[in-house]
Amino acid sequence: MSTKAVCHAVVDIELQDVAHGGTAATTTYCCAVCVEPLEWVAIGPCGHRSVCARCIVQVRFVSKDRRCYLCRAPCPLVVVVKGDCINGADILAELPSSPSMITRQGRVDNFWFNVDTAAYFADEQQFKVARIACVKKSFYKPKEKP
């Protein structure tokens, strides 16, 4: 019987950045799905900001996962805002969450709501990209097994 040793390495990214001449304050936060910089970020009621606007379609629409990618808390609605927005969870609390609004896609006050992802978007262009991606993903989505 052979036993293999398992080794794990833990790297503190902020300290690694400092070691290479940077500062911890210059750390760029990245999407937990695609690892691209978070220019636009989805924020749920828990306040975590870990998934970019592009990946929100993959996580919430294709995978049908309506939980936070970090803490796994239920996130029936999210708001997609600029990555440097500090009050995203507060913004989400102010937006309509009634069933009648959830079935209506498009402009809602200063935001745009996408029914397929159950996400509010602060930017119309980001909303349009998500809406088109949902249509394309629906077209190519494999049929579910009976």
* Amino acid residing at 91: I
Q: Which domain holds residue 108?
A: 31-140
**What's the angle, vertex CA 109, arms to CA 82 and CA 76, rounded to 5?**
65
Structural domain contains residue 15? no
pLDDT at position 58? 92
How many CB atoms are closer than 10 A to CB 108? Answer: 14
How many residues are given for the chain?
Answer: 146
Q: Is residue 10 part of a domain?
A: no
Contact between residue 38 and residue 49 where contact means Cβ atoms under 8 Å apart: yes
**Within a domain: residue 102?**
yes
Domain total in the chain:
1
Nearest to 115 by CA among 107, 124, 125, 105: 105
What does the alpha-carbon distance between residue 35 and residue 32 come to, in Å, rounded to a whole number?
A: 6
User: What pLDDT is attached to residue 141?
Assistant: 52
* Residue 12, domain member (yes or no): no
List per-residue pLDDT tens for the chain, 146 residues long: 555 555 554 444 444 444 455 555 556 789 999 999 999 999 999 999 999 999 999 999 999 999 999 999 999 999 999 988 888 878 888 888 765 667 778 988 889 999 999 999 999 999 999 999 988 876 555 555 55
112 neighbors 106 (Cβ within 8 angstroms): yes
pLDDT for the residue 15: 46
Other Cβ atoms closer than 10 A to 113: 23
Tell me whether residue 121 is in a domain. yes
pLDDT score at 11 = 47
Question: Is 20 a domain residue?
Answer: no
User: Residue 53's pLDDT is what?
Assistant: 93
